[in-house]
Structure 1
Amino acid sequence: MDAAANPDNLVTIATVNADALERELHWLAQVLEARLHAYFYSDDEPLHFRFDKAKPPDLPARSNLQQLIDKHQLQAAERLILALVLTPYIRPQMLDVLFSRNKHTDRGHTEFGGLQSQSHGGFLPTIETALFVLAGDALDERFTVQPKLQPDALLFRQDIIQANSLGPLEPWTSQALTISKEMLDWLTSGSAFKPAFSRDFPAKRISTQRSWQQLVLPNAIRVQLQEIADWVKYHQVLMTDWQMEDRLSPGYTALFYGPPGTGKTLSACLLGQYCEREVYKIDLSLLISKYIGETEKNLARIFDTAANKNWILFFDEADALFGKRTQVEDSRDRYANQEVSYLLQRIEEFDGVVILASNLKNNIDEAFIRRFQNIIAFSMPAAPERQLLWQQGFSSKVDFSDDVDFSRLADRYEISGGTIMNVVRHCSLHAISKQTTRICQADIEQGIKREFIKQGRRI
């Protein structure tokens, strides 16, 4: 569910989406009217009416609803269920007819299902409501469409709609049918859901203004990064057209390891940019809890929120969460190992890309290592790569003095790309503060000296 490119396009998408939803709701209204007429206005017993007698409307190809229908091959019953769930959000008055009272019991019709909340004055559909719209009181038809409303049905499995239980003793058909705000926004205004960083969602969206051309890495690493991009682009073909869903896990997991500043985070951002996917960096300080069971709950919120969003989840400094399991000596060790096991389960079930970043491969639990589809070693850049990083790092506004020698700097100082950019920032700000654009070799070497002191290294 990608966001539209610009505000003008958003207006266009919203208009197209409105047209599509108008047609879909009109179709639902026709089916509902026919169902009620057949149910109430026959002389002896309810008339037999099949919902599929009313042909689904053709929708604008550009509409997000049509894209959703095409992607998941939604059938008429599933489209009607989705339209019913959408109605309270976009045309609530359309379901007011279901508030009609049963003249024999002087209460609402049980067979209509539905709820009425304290704040929302309209009719809120339940699974029972959907079954009535699709099947009336015909048990054979009810049992035929019932699987489309089970927890493992397509609409629920793909997180298109949700069913919210009211209590353990209630019939399963009394569950309210709802839709997430992100799906509602995408189907209506066309905007993508971008959750804000919070304690409930300890992840921050990260991106970069840089391009693949500016990524200075050995060709072997570029090839491995392209493999991840290929999975993002073609995994649907692999799973569906090649019928590999029963043999392969739905997602893709990779390990980026190497010293700080060697391009792990930048590579994750560029993958997102290239694949048109949002990248979320997980804040492990908020994710990991000292209280037993809380870490699993925090992980569940991350993966539940990210489900079916086509996001890339980036766990930086992953050793804290994905580290090797310990020998069980006390209850805390046992629960820590349970956290790792739970994480393994969620990663295997996740349908997107998970990238773990660590300084050392050996810090990661062997159980994760076996499950990685890709392990990429980010090493310190060689001298030719360091020279290119120096040349690309500075602004085009900089006027270098004649003594600046990037080749000499690259040969003499074995430092990472991240360290080089720290030096670039220091030198550039120093020049600006002196109201000049000139940078000399001494300025750069002074910046390098500062970085070495920070890292506890000797020049």
Structure 2
Amino acid sequence: MKRTSEPLPPFEFLAAVIHYRLQTELTEDTPKFPTYEPEKFDDSSISRFIKKTNLPQTETIVLLLALVPHLLPGFLSSILATYFPDGGELPEFGGIKGTHYRGIFPTGETVLYILAGTHIQQRIEVSSIFEAQHVFKKNNIVSLDKPIHGEPAMSGRLVLDEEYLFWITKEKVVHPELSEKFPAQRITTQLEWDDLILDMETMDHIREIETWLHYEKELKTDWDMGKRIKPGYRVMFYGAPGTGKTLTATLLGKHTGKDVYRIDLSMVVSKFIGETEKNLANLFNKAENKNWILFFDEADAIFGKRTETRDAHDKYANQEVSYLLQRIENYSGLVILASNFKKNIDTAFTRRFQSIIEFKNPDTKERLALWKHNIPEKASLAEDIDLNNIATNYDITGSNIVNAIQYASIQTIAKKTTIISREDLLKGIKKEFIKEGRMM
């Protein structure tokens, strides 16, 4: 390793650590372990992350190893070539090849070798870095891929979470995208609480949830209630589509500074035995300790009433429900289940909810408020439009009202005017009735 007064980049420190191990194990030399001085690292984003988080020496080495495939594909190969110029392998070093990636993917074995060499007791102690209570596992920063069945656990590839990869290298937060491995999508809104028009009883229940989100940490720590109450908060929203369930979940996140993820149940539920649990595990492992709000829309698909066990499929379906119940009960954040009907949800779940909230269809007064609130400021209503009359005669939801106004507004713009006609507004309402199979 070069001895200069220049700031020491973190990967030079990692290279020095690997050289120390290889020299110790493969030569007669007795080198000194490199001094860990993060304050002398350069001013790269990686160095800033290490300094800002006060990352200990061992964790820094593991983190840098996990970064290697993303930034320096030839890093490990070039170091090993120094000791094996004619080729050859060092099984103790671990590492695997990828399908297209030409470098070496470090594995758990690589970590054990670099940090403990062939000393068995030290290797056992180092392996605790991958256990559940470690900060890497708790925050889903670095983990090990599951190895092929029957192979040692430490032969799994070292994996750096994609969010942390972007945070460490580009210093920006990247939200996970909907995929087979992550069956959820972040939802946001530009609306505010004033845009959500609900009856007072429902709003009071919503405020209770918002209060919990603001003060649950204080309750658990300052008031020492953490050991007496279960983690997290579980709530059920039920009511007809378009009554504000999704908007409420999104606003709760917006006004408490928490990301809201809507779970795509079509991607979670699988016809293949065991796959549903795997999909759910991916979701909860990702969400753990991030304090996300998890919103299960149309929850009947998986939270519905369990069936009698008539065949193997029923048996595994019930196991999936039990598994989900366990993960929800252990989740430390807010979980919201949304359903059109309360009776569709298994009572095994409803018993564990802190709150069950009905989203009722708006009454005449609330419908009038929704009509007035959602008419565009730029628009005006024709003289023959009586919103009181429309709110009284047409029993529709807030979502229906917004859709009807959207239709009427588009027609108005097309006519090169800003005055919404009664005909266009009624056509918009009629379209909403037709979609729901109702007569206007």
Does the 8 A contact of 1:272 with 1:278 survive in 2?
yes
Does the 8 A contact of 2:8 with 2:41 survive in 1?
no
The equivalent residue for 1:98 is 80
Counterpart of 1:272 in structure 2: which amino acid?
Answer: G
Q: Does 391-400 or 164-173 show the bigger shift?
A: 164-173
In 2, distance between residues paired with 1:155 and 1:139?
Answer: 23
In 2, distance between residues paired with 1:245 and 1:74?
Answer: 27
**Do the aligned partners of residues 289 and 141 (structure 1) sit closer, same or farther apart at CA in structure 2, a change above 3 Å counting?**
closer
Q: Which secondary structure state, in structure 2, belongs to the residue aligned with residue 337 of structure 1?
A: helix
Counterpart of 2:36 in structure 1: which amino acid?
Answer: A
The equivalent residue for 2:364 is 383
The equivalent residue for 2:14 is 28
In 2, distance between residues paired with 1:69 and 1:348?
Answer: 36
1:54 to 14, 26, 36: 36
Shift of 1:442: 5.4
- Which aligned pairs between 1:322-361 and structure 2 lie closer than 5 A? 322-361=303-342
- Which aligned pairs between 1:8-407 and structure 2 lie closer than 5 A? 23-36=9-22, 46=30, 49=32, 53-57=35-39, 74-95=55-76, 96-101=78-83, 107-117=88-98, 119-136=100-117, 141-150=122-131, 153-198=134-179, 201-232=182-213, 248-307=229-288, 309-407=290-388
Q: Residues 364-395 of structure 1: CA distance to partner in whole angstroms, max 9, x if unpaired?
A: 11111122233222122233332221111111
Q: CA RMSD for the aligned pairs?
A: 3.9
Query: What runs of 5+ residues in structure 1 fail to find an aligned partner?
Result: 1-20
In 1, distance between residues paired with 2:43 and 2:237?
Answer: 40
Shift of 1:247: 5.1
Say how many residue pairs are matched. Answer: 433
**Do the aligned partners of residues 395 and 143 (structure 1) sit closer, same or farther apart at CA in structure 2, a change above 3 Å counting?**
same
User: How many percent identity over aligned positions?
Assistant: 42
Q: Does 421-430 or 325-334 show the bigger shift?
A: 325-334
Q: Residues 146-185 of structure 1: CA distance to partner in whole angstroms, max 9, x if unpaired?
A: 3223465332343211213544554444333222333322
Does the 8 A contact of 2:8 with 2:40 survive in 1?
no
**Do the aligned partners of residues 139 and 202 (structure 1) sit closer, same or farther apart at CA in structure 2, a change above 3 Å counting?**
closer
1:424 to 405, 421, 425: 405
The equivalent residue for 1:8 is none
Does the 8 A contact of 1:23 with 1:57 survive in 2?
no
**Do the aligned partners of residues 396 and 128 (structure 1) sit closer, same or farther apart at CA in structure 2, a change above 3 Å counting?**
same
Does the 8 A contact of 2:81 with 2:87 survive in 1?
no
In 1, distance between residues paired with 2:221 and 2:10?
Answer: 27
Does the 8 A contact of 1:27 with 1:56 survive in 2?
no
In 2, distance between residues paired with 1:326 and 1:259?
Answer: 25
Q: Residues 200-257 of structure 1: CA distance to partner in whole angstroms, max 9, x if unpaired?
A: 6554443333222322224443444344445555555666676766555544332111
Q: Residues 92-137 of structure 1: CA distance to partner in whole angstroms, max 9, x if unpaired?
A: 444332344479x984444433334464343432323323333345
Q: Which secondary structure state, in structure 1, belongs to the residue aligned with residue 348 of structure 2?
A: helix
Does the 8 A contact of 1:100 with 1:109 survive in 2?
no
Counterpart of 2:10 in structure 1: which amino acid?
Answer: E
TM-score, normalisation: structure 1: 0.78
The equivalent residue for 1:434 is 415
Counterpart of 1:98 in structure 2: which amino acid?
Answer: L
Shift of 1:304: 4.6
**Do the aligned partners of residues 139 and 260 (structure 1) sit closer, same or farther apart at CA in structure 2, a change above 3 Å counting?**
closer
In 1, distance between residues paired with 2:33 and 2:228?
Answer: 38
Query: What runs of 5+ residues in structure 2 fail to find an aligned partner?
Result: 1-6
**Do the aligned partners of residues 123 and 336 (structure 1) sit closer, same or farther apart at CA in structure 2, a change above 3 Å counting?**
closer
Q: Which secondary structure state, in structure 1, belongs to the residue aligned with residue 309 of structure 2?
A: coil
Counterpart of 1:347 in structure 2: which amino acid?
Answer: I
TM-score, normalisation: structure 2: 0.80
Does the 8 A contact of 1:256 with 1:264 survive in 2?
yes
In 2, distance between residues paired with 1:263 and 1:235?
Answer: 25
Counterpart of 1:28 in structure 2: which amino acid?
Answer: L
**Do the aligned partners of residues 381 and 54 (structure 1) sit closer, same or farther apart at CA in structure 2, a change above 3 Å counting?**
same
In 1, distance between residues paired with 2:377 and 2:385?
Answer: 15
Q: Which secondary structure state, in structure 2, belongs to the residue aligned with residue 57 of structure 1?
A: helix
Shift of 1:261: 1.5
Shift of 1:398: 1.0
Does the 8 A contact of 2:260 with 2:292 survive in 1?
yes
Counterpart of 2:110 in structure 1: which amino acid?
Answer: T
In 2, distance between residues paired with 1:308 and 1:60?
Answer: 30
Shift of 1:360: 1.8
